[in-house]
Amino acid sequence: MTMISPGGTLARESWFDLLDQRRFTVGSTHWTAQVAGVHVAGFDTWIQLEFAEDQRRSLLLHLTPGTGVGAAVEAIRTSLQRCLASLD
């Protein structure tokens, strides 16, 4: 069950459960997200991610009210694509 806070955002624990250990594939590169922290400030949620395959890389994801899981996952995937493109 996904918990919703009074402000209509997913609870910290739900974001952790939904994103921690989630696998991403970008091109031929595989990434496993590890949630380092979830912070809720007012109606905004900030999620700090690290990646098992390269812990030198991290991502701070800012989610505004109404952001769903699909949009969050797509934002992570887009960020990973940019990261890989910058390495070329």
Record the pTM. 0.82
The domain in which residue 73 lies consists of 12-87
| Nearest-angstrom CA–CA distance, 63 and 84 | 23
Tell the burial category of 40 from Cβ atoms under 10 Å away from its Cβ (0-12, 13-18, 19+).
middle
Q: What one-letter code names the amino acid at 26?
A: V
Confidence of residue 2 (pLDDT cuts 50, 70, 90): very low
For 10-47, what is each residue's pLDDT tens digit? 677 899 999 999 999 998 999 999 999 999 988 899 99
What number of other Cβ atoms are within 10 A of residue 42's Cβ? Answer: 8
**Do 15 and 45 touch, CB atoms closer than 8 A?**
yes
Enter the tokens of residue 57. Answer: 């890389």
pLDDT of residue 88: 64
Is 51 a member of any domain?
Answer: yes
**Do 33 and 26 touch, CB atoms closer than 8 A?**
no
Residue 20 maps to which CATH number?
2.30.30
For 50-67, what is each residue's pLDDT tens digit? 999 988 889 999 999 889
Domain total in the chain: 1
